[in-house]
Amino acid sequence: MKKKRSIAILTGGGDCPGTNAVIRAVAKKAIIELGIEVIGIEDGFEGLISRKWRKLHYEDVSGILTVGGTILGTSNKCDPYRYAGENDKTLKFRDVSRMVISNLKKLGVECLVCIGGDGTLTIASKFHKDGVPIVAVPKTIDNDLRGTDVTFGFDTAVSIAAEAIDRVHTTAQSHHRVMIVEVMGRTAGWIALYSGVAAGGDIILIPEIPYHIESVIGKVKGRNRMGKRFSIIVVSEGAKPKGGSVVVRQIVKDSPEQVRLGGISFILGHKIEQETGIETRQVVLGHLQRGGTPTPTDRVLATRLGTKAVEMIEKGQFGYMAGVKGDHIVAVGLEEAAKGPRNVPLGHPLIISARSVGTCFGD
């Protein structure tokens, strides 16, 4: 009797709106059109080390299109090629990738679908080079993956951030304050740029354009002289002053990405209030940007990317990621996604448009 075909799927890295929509699209297309069994790996690559997985039935993925997070769980600390563990109370790293490959062989799946950002897809690229058939789907609210014009989760994060900026706008205006809204993005300014422009931020600070504090203070004072007794500043967590450094909130020693950014808004706010005498307050959106229901745009994109991933499996296009190029979903080599973050180009049309309406970028 012929063995039933099967594939495995995992979600790695930070949670992201639209992840469940991708899981749904992959599983439904595989089950309905191809009769393929789908195995859900729990908690990212951690599940392939500790052998935590389960079969996903049609009922398991029905009704999850609008649900935030991931039904499979995730981990942003687990790298099988540099797996953290304690030995004599000392943190040690070891390579357990062969164990993962062995467990996948025992599962008997013909492909592993990896949904993740640059960290997850870098690991996926290594596994492909080690002989594991991989197909990937780009996932990050930061929108900083190479090889794709946009990632699912970004539109939701921008929508949440823009709504938050809209809400602090009225408080800033009522109390004649400077309000600073700090958003995520790591070393890329996509969320700050798009949400800042959408919500009419007076000053937008992104990692790609190191700022001069004098320029920021000058903008605030200039608005005050014009009778605008408040200012809205949108700052990316990875923004830094010219010649200065990013603000590090935390070092996580057992994580592949040890540096956690955050806190730039408080340093910036203290300086502005000190120099201008204008009351300044900070709002750090943090994980609010990651949670909750995905926008319709992200649901649609996630569905297109998920079904494309299954098409790629059928064509044997392993070692590729489903990416967005214009209006098309295309196959992109995993090595492209693993090259590092995709930053905002200095000549990006949105930066040019923002400058045209008087937005200050601190330069």
pLDDT digits over 158-201, tens only?
999 999 999 999 899 888 899 999 999 989 999 999 999 999 99
Q: Are 11 and 84 in the same domain?
A: yes
Question: What is the CATH classification number for the domain harbouring 248?
Answer: 3.40.50.460
Q: Give per-residue pLDDT as tens, 74-123.
A: 987 789 999 987 666 778 889 999 999 999 999 999 999 999 998 899 99
The last residue of one of the domains, among 290, 318, 353, is 290
Report whether pLDDT(1) > 60.
no
pTM: 0.92
Mean pLDDT of the chain: 92
Residue 315 confidence class, pLDDT cut points 50, 70, 90 = very high
The 3-class SS string of the chain reads: CCCCCEEEEEECCCCCCCHHHHHHHHHHHHHHHHCCEEEEECCCHHHHHHCCEEEECHHHHCCCCCCCCCCCCCCCCCCHHHEEEEECCEEEEECCHHHHHHHHHHHCCCCEEEEECHHHHHHHHHHHHCCCCEEEEEECCCCCCCCCCCCECHHHHHHHHHHHHHHHHHHHHHHCCEEEEEECCCCCCHHHHHHHHHCCCCEEECCCCCECHHHHHHHHHHHHHCCCCCEEEEEECCCCECCCCCCEEEECCCCCCCEEECCHHHHHHHHHHHHHCCCEEEEECHHHHCCCCCCHHHHHHHHHHHHHHHHHHHHCCCCEEEEEECCEEEEEEHHHHCCCCCCCCCCCHHHHHHHHCCCECCC
**pLDDT of 252 strictly over 80:** no
Residues 192 and 178 placed together within one structural domain of the fold: yes
- Segment 8-30 mean pLDDT: 96
- pLDDT at position 262 is 79
Q: Note whether 126 and 212 are same-domain residues.
A: no
| pLDDT for 257 beyond 80 | no
Q: CA dihedral in degrees (128, 131, 132, 134; nearest 10)?
A: 40
pLDDT tens for residues 210-245?
999 999 999 999 999 998 999 999 999 999 999 888
Is residue 40, in this structure, part of any structural domain at all?
yes
Q: Which residues are catalytic?
A: 142
Predicted pLDDT at 248: 81
Q: How confident is the model at residue 325 (pLDDT cuts 50, 70, 90)?
A: very high
Q: How far apart are CA 197 and CA 204, in angstroms?
A: 8
> 134 and 177, same structural domain?
no
pLDDT score of 251? 66
Q: How far apart are CA 67 and CA 172, in angstroms?
A: 33
CA dihedral 56, 13, 288, 253 (to 10 degrees): 140
**Residue 356 banded pLDDT, cuts 50, 70, 90:** very high
CA 212/CA 217 separation, integer angstroms: 9
Please write the tens of the pLDDT for every residue from 192-204: 999 999 999 999 9
**How deeply is 80 buried, as exposed, middle or buried, from its count of CB atoms within 10 A (0-12, 13-18, 19+)?**
buried
**How confident is the model at residue 254, as a pLDDT?**
63
Please state, for a pLDDT cut of 90, what percent of the chain lies above it.
80
Residue 176 belongs to domain spanning: 157-290
Q: Are residues 194 and 135 in the same domain?
A: no
What is the mean predicted confidence (pLDDT) over 271-295? 91
Whether 26 and 140 map to the same domain: the answer is: yes
Give 316-319's long-range contacts (Cβ < 8 A, gap of 24+).
317/135, 318/111, 318/128, 318/133, 318/134, 318/135, 319/125, 319/128, 319/133, 319/134
User: For position 73, which CATH number holds?
Assistant: 3.40.50.450
Domain count, the chain: 2
